[in-house]
Structure 1
Amino acid sequence: MEVAAVSINGGDAVQKSEKLLHYIESLDVGTRISVRQIATSQKVSAGTAYRAVKTAQTRGLVATIDRVGTVRTDPRPRSTSAQLTFADLVRVIDGRVLGGSEGLDKPLDKFVIGAMKTSAMGHYISRNSLLIVGNREDAQALALESGAAVLITGGFDTTSAVMSLANRSALPIITTSHDTFTVATMINRALSDQAIRRDILTVASLYTPRSEASFLQLPATVGDYRKLARTTQHSEIPVISVSGRVVGVANADTVLERKDSAPLERAMERHPAVVKTGESVATVNHLMQGRGLKLVPVVDDAGLLIGVLTRATVLAQLQETPATEHLPATIADQLEATLSSVAPLPGGTAAYRVATAPIMTNKFGALNVGVLNGLITSATSRYLRSTGRQNVLVDNITLTTLRPIQLSARVTIGLNILDLTRHVATFDIDITADDVVAAKALLTCQLLERN
């Protein structure tokens, strides 16, 4: 793949690094790159090229794949629409790429096991699918011609003609030493895990990129802050060094009573809280709630500013419940479905009856402790939602079991409020089996609500 070279001449180290990153970003996804190639085409030293590649890796612009090398990747793969790619598949099955490496970033939609005659395969093979087959060159060629990648099991190789076809089609042909049943099981598990990850909101799916965010660079003054703050919807503004590293956050309190000519470096909060793109939105919301933050800078592994995330954006997403999207039931959903509300004991706040099932027990026939923890969390969350508190994050749960809870027992979870404020709730919990206390728990949780 030909890419026009952009020559870099002069400038300081920071400008040179940024220009190298722009060059890497201009490459098509799937393009192989190397330190030597960048150093030669951009007329920089190998050390400068190496540092640029490492920075690009932390920003998600490139990735190193075993037996393939370093390739240009999508910079924002960890979003709510992320899919399993053929590059992910290579890692999952410990495979080796024989050809078509430029197609490794393509998504894997489904896989087909080639246990049929070639004449019957065409009906099942579709674009962006994967054909799992042995050393059958005719089937491998048919898959590539139909727009599908190929996985060869049993450690077999293929012919040079098939590898050439894979390269021309930009479709991976991969080999693995595992048998067909084993790789099918591994891929099924990977697809399932990816579906769960897709439903977990991360910072990557919500943050505002640096190109659209407000920030100040040293040496800036308090006057610069006040001028910029008048154009933004929030008073918190990240402050970065000349190299782009986050060194502080300025807000209305830190600049209070400061003259416009005062250096901003002396009127900002040093060592501010920062987050990275892979962190979950629930975790970030907990951080912002606990520290009273309305904005946090988003940084890469080197501490360079890549964007910002506001608390308003986080809370809007957490409180949004899609009506049209049907997500697979989680373990927590399944546990909560077993609860039914019953009348609380005198002095109690709420109580829930548990419909136990054999899958909830350990090998001795008693209710599993982990399941019991989940049931307590589900009961507490259901009660708080009934009071209008929709977003609950459990901070700590301490469980003391007094006696085993048998499968046949009538189990009730009784909640007693010890403390309930705008942001925190603490419960004393009694778990009874056939009206006898079998366990006690103390649970503390955060209530993630709008201001």
Structure 2
Amino acid sequence: MTKHDQIIHYIETLPIGHKISVRGIAKHLNMSEGTAYRAIKDAETLGIVSTIERVGTIRIEKKSKYSPDMLTFEEIVSVIEGEVLGGHAGLNNHLAKFIIGAMTVEAMTKYFSPGSLIIVGNRQRVQELALANGVAVLITGGFGATQEIIDLANQYQLPLISTAHDTFTVATLINRSMTEQMIKKEIVTVQDIFVPLEQSRYLSPHDTVETFHRYADMTGDSRFPVVHNQRLIGVVTAKDLIGKNEQTVIERLMTREPITVKTHMSVASVSHKMIWEDLEMLPVVADNLQLLGVVTRQDVMKAMQSLQQQPQIVHTYEDEVNAHLDRYPASVNSNHYDFRVTIQPQMISNFGTISYGVLCELITNVAHQKLLNQTKFNSMVEKLDLNYFNMIQLGNEIQFKAEIFYQNRRSVLSQVDVYHENSLVARAIVTSQIIEQN
């Protein structure tokens, strides 16, 4: 190992939360402080240490990189509460599909493909054949494996896993995890859309108003982050500079402790923040306030629109509830209802009446659809005040009537009335935030 690698390895052995200093590491490993400093900075890039203001540099748990496509075999082990018997080198590979090994050896070979996992009991011949064909093996029922199979798994670097669960339970757990992963894939985060620091403009606190205007002319932007030693210390906008001398330094005009976002935040939450605060740009920072880049309102709106146009792959609970909501047919709509739904068994509470959460979800969707149909604007519900007058029972058909009674550039107020047999049973006032024009 080089001295640099030795320091990285030493840092990895430290417990989470341990405080790190350049002088301490240099003294402990008998190296120069310059070497220690460079290695600690590299460790910060690797995500195993973090520098926190007024705390110092500490050892942190490395955040696993999120893969939006598939689960890894290591994640499968955690889901099924399994034990890895061999093939540890392949745990970071992704699972493409799983196979139930309840068939003859000859019949199952046609299902073998790279990235597959076969779920099988104590059948050594099947285990051997699967590993030879590049397929990982999951042994159910708490059985182990022979040393010959373990050696084969290590040779091919294919995970060999054992679990105490039965085949049905394991298949259910894996299938549920794969479904959840597909839902996560549809959730766009800041990580997917932000502009990295190398491709964006920023100012130092010692730059002047003249520099700001020069950058603004080059990029067309009116808002820039202010950075010192790679740390975000403020944000300056064109409004802050109105009437100021061209030689005034930015540090005197910037807004300190600005609103920031992290890479793991969803685009929907960032959209809400931007519109509520009327911001065109937000800095993207690490935990130690190191500036990673910026995200603009244009980037967010484009991502939101792209997400809405994607085909739905799997259904969330929200989708399951709203799937029963129908537009009221105009031919029988003498009372001008907008939507109707028949209460299903999965929508009720333990008391046999509609679940409060389900009713709120239905009302939210009705308010959203009303605004979209009437104004062509999309929206995000910010507040819902619900008054519930009469119980709604299993099997009841209820109707919804929505009306927009206030709208400005940012938000909309809607009233949603719920009827059963032409009697008012609930009324909600819904405050929605306009997030984009469709």
Counterpart residue identity of residue 326, structure 2: L
**Aligned counterparts of 1:58 and 1:437: Cα–Cα separation in 2:** 58
Give the deviation of 1:194 after TM superposition. 0.6
Contact map agreement 2:386 2:427 (CA 8 A) in 1? yes
Cα deviations across residues 287-306 of structure 1 (Å, max 9, x unaligned)?
00011111111122222222
Contact map agreement 1:222 1:267 (CA 8 A) in 2? no
Counterpart residue identity of residue 270, structure 2: V
What is the match of residue 413 of structure 2? 426
Cα deviations across residues 41-90 of structure 1 (Å, max 9, x unaligned)?
x9887898577546533799xxxxxxxxx999975x35xx4321222212
Change (3 A) 1:406 1:255: same
Alignment partner of 1:185 is 2:172? yes
What is the match of residue 305 of structure 1? 291
Alignment partner of 1:57 is 2:34? no
What is the match of residue 376 of structure 1? 363
What SS does the aligned partner of 2:432 have? strand
**Aligned counterparts of 1:116 and 1:97: Cα–Cα separation in 2:** 24
RMSD of Structure 2 on Structure 1 (CA): 3.7
Give the deviation of 1:363 after TM superposition. 4.0
What SS does the aligned partner of 2:328 have? strand
Contact map agreement 1:134 1:154 (CA 8 A) in 2? yes
What is the match of residue 92 of structure 2? 105
What is the match of residue 35 of structure 1? 12
Contact map agreement 1:84 1:108 (CA 8 A) in 2? yes
Farther off after superposition, 48-57 or 431-440: 48-57
Residues paired across the two proteins, number: 412
Contact map agreement 2:378 2:437 (CA 8 A) in 1? no
Aligned partner (choices 231, 250, 261) of residue 236 of structure 2: 250
**Aligned counterparts of 2:215 and 2:146: Cα–Cα separation in 1:** 63
Aligned partner (choices 338, 345, 361) of residue 351 of structure 1: 338
**Aligned counterparts of 1:33 and 1:368: Cα–Cα separation in 2:** 54
Give the deviation of 1:282 after TM superposition. 0.8
Q: How does 1:332-351 map to 2 (within 5 A)?
A: 332-337=318-323, 338-341=325-328, 351=338
What SS does the aligned partner of 1:82 have? coil
Contact map agreement 1:73 1:105 (CA 8 A) in 2? no
Cα deviations across residues 136-165 of structure 1 (Å, max 9, x unaligned)?
443333222222222233344434443343
What is the match of residue 280 of structure 1? 266
Aligned partner (choices 286, 295, 307) of residue 281 of structure 2: 295
What SS does the aligned partner of 2:343 have? coil
TM-score, normalised on structure 2? 0.81
Farther off after superposition, 317-326 or 354-363: 317-326
Whose helix fraction is larger, Structure 1's or Structure 2's? 2
What is the match of residue 151 of structure 1? 138
Give the deviation of 1:324 after TM superposition. 6.9
Contact map agreement 1:155 1:178 (CA 8 A) in 2? yes
**Aligned counterparts of 2:348 and 2:12: Cα–Cα separation in 1:** 56
**Aligned counterparts of 1:59 and 1:284: Cα–Cα separation in 2:** 27
Contact map agreement 1:112 1:124 (CA 8 A) in 2? yes
What is the match of residue 311 of structure 2? 325
What SS does the aligned partner of 1:319 have? helix
Q: How does 1:76-155 map to 2 (within 5 A)?
A: 77=66, 81-155=68-142
Contact map agreement 1:58 1:301 (CA 8 A) in 2? no
Change (3 A) 1:167 1:310: farther
Change (3 A) 1:59 1:183: farther
Farther off after superposition, 117-126 or 289-298: 117-126
**Aligned counterparts of 1:124 and 1:166: Cα–Cα separation in 2:** 19
Alignment partner of 1:172 is 2:159? yes
What SS does the aligned partner of 2:284 have? strand
Alignment partner of 1:362 is 2:352? no
What SS does the aligned partner of 2:393 have? coil
Alignment partner of 1:229 is 2:216? yes
**Aligned counterparts of 1:192 and 1:148: Cα–Cα separation in 2:** 21
What SS does the aligned partner of 1:397 have? strand
**Aligned counterparts of 2:336 and 2:219: Cα–Cα separation in 1:** 45
What SS does the aligned partner of 2:415 have? strand
What SS does the aligned partner of 1:230 have? helix
Contact map agreement 1:413 1:430 (CA 8 A) in 2? yes
Contact map agreement 1:147 1:171 (CA 8 A) in 2? yes
What is the match of residue 63 of structure 1? none
Contact map agreement 1:349 1:417 (CA 8 A) in 2? no
Change (3 A) 1:304 1:324: closer
What SS does the aligned partner of 1:443 have? strand
Counterpart residue identity of residue 404, structure 1: M
What is the match of residue 163 of structure 1? 150
Farther off after superposition, 90-99 or 275-284: 90-99
**Aligned counterparts of 2:388 and 2:112: Cα–Cα separation in 1:** 54
> Percent identity between the aligned chains?
35
**Aligned counterparts of 2:155 and 2:61: Cα–Cα separation in 1:** 17
Give the deviation of 1:197 after TM superposition. 0.8
Cα deviations across residues 271-314 of structure 1 (Å, max 9, x unaligned)?
11111122111110000001111111112222222222111011
Cα deviations across residues 361-399 of structure 1 (Å, max 9, x unaligned)?
334432222221111111111111112334210111122
Aligned partner (choices 195, 214, 238) of residue 201 of structure 2: 214
Counterpart residue identity of residue 234, structure 1: D
Contact map agreement 2:139 2:163 (CA 8 A) in 1? yes
What SS does the aligned partner of 1:215 have? coil
Give the deviation of 1:262 after TM superposition. 3.3
**Aligned counterparts of 2:148 and 2:62: Cα–Cα separation in 1:** 26
What 5-or-longer segments of structure 2 have no aligned partner?
15-24, 51-59
**Aligned counterparts of 2:143 and 2:168: Cα–Cα separation in 1:** 16
What 5-or-longer segments of structure 1 have no aligned partner?
9-19, 25-31, 61-69
**Aligned counterparts of 2:280 and 2:176: Cα–Cα separation in 1:** 38
Change (3 A) 1:7 1:270: same
Alignment partner of 1:444 is 2:434? no
Contact map agreement 1:319 1:390 (CA 8 A) in 2? no
Contact map agreement 1:100 1:166 (CA 8 A) in 2? yes
Cα deviations across residues 335-354 of structure 1 (Å, max 9, x unaligned)?
444222367999x9963222
